[in-house]
Each structure stands twice: as structure tokens, then as C-alpha cells.
Amino acid sequence: MIVVLGLGNPGHSFAKSRHNVGFRCIDALARRYGIRLEERRRHVVLGHGDMGGVPVILAKPRTYMNRSGIAARYLLDRFHVDLEDLLVVYDDMDLPVHTIRLRAGGGTAGHRGIESVIAELGTQEFPRLKIGVGHPAERGDEVSYVLGPFTAEEAKAIEEPLERAVEAITWMIEYGLGSTMNRFN
């Protein structure tokens, strides 16, 4: 079983924010594979399904970004999966809008959601898929930037990397993380 956890903030006001591309990726996977995200738990909303013959759980935290680790811990404990079977999908300001990157582990790069996941799991060694959202023009404006919506041009541009993220996750489930990193990074 594979668990794919897309990070974001709950609520309508954050739905189109840069910080919610992890949620948007989960929604795109759910549409592609006919997985309904309708099971509501205290800390996550999730759906059970199948991707290429492999059972999957798609999940979005019901907590705010800086408490995403609670959802990750819940999913690992509930479904008894190993860390290598948890894929965390989230936004990355250090990557341009057209870019995705898969990693087997690593640091936080200042991302509060990943800081929470690492703190809760006690390790940095879990697979992650970063979706580039670009960087604000001025330093010190990072919080309002990630919580703000994409510009009209960025909103069009983000659709292509979201589609590539779905393809990468599909490939990873079938061929493994190493092969996926070679193909999509």
C-alpha cells in the first residue's frame, strides 16, 4: 500500500493559494483514478483506491500547514505503512513554477509543513515530491506570497507541472522511487 499525502491549508479561502498545490495534486490523482476523498477523520480527509493494481490512500490534512505532521503520523499508524511507502507532496518556493522534484529525503528548506512532518515522524527520510511555485519578487514577503493566489499566468502554468506530478506518482507506484527520480527530475 502507498499513502500519498498532499500538504495544504483547509478552507475555501486557501483553495487557490500557492501553498495548496499539494491538495491540488491529490485532487488531480483522485479525478484520474476515480478515488473519492470522502472519509473524514479528525486530522485528515482521505480516499481509498487502486493505481495500477496497487492499493493507495490519497489524503489531505484537516490541520493547517504547520501541523501537517499530525496527519502524517495518523496515516502511518492507521495503515501500518513504512516510511518509504509515504509520499508527501508540497509546494516549493525555491523551484520555478514549471518544475517538480522528487527526493528520497532531505531537510525542510524552511517549509513549515515539512518541519512539522519531520518533527512528528522523527526523521527526514521519507519520499517527497516538491512542486515549484516560484519565489516572491521581494525578500520578507514569503508568507503572503505562498498564502496568496497564483497570478493568471501562473495559474495556467501550474497545470502542466501538476499533470507531470500525477504522472510521476503513477510511475513511482509502478517502478519505484529511484526510477521515477531518474525519469522526472
- Which residue in 12, 19, 48, 98 is the catalytic one? 19
Is 35 buried (19+), middle (13-18) or exposed (0-12) by CB count in 10 A? buried
Angstrom CA distances, 36 to 26, 32, 59, 87, 146, stand at: 11, 11, 10, 19, 27
Helix or strand (DSSP H, E) at 60: strand 54-61
Angstrom CA distances, 119 to 6, 66, 83, 124, 156, stand at: 17, 11, 14, 9, 34
Instruction: Assess whether 19 carries a catalytic annotation.
Output: yes
User: First vs last Cα of the chain: how many Å apart?
Assistant: 24
Catalytically active residues, by annotation: 19
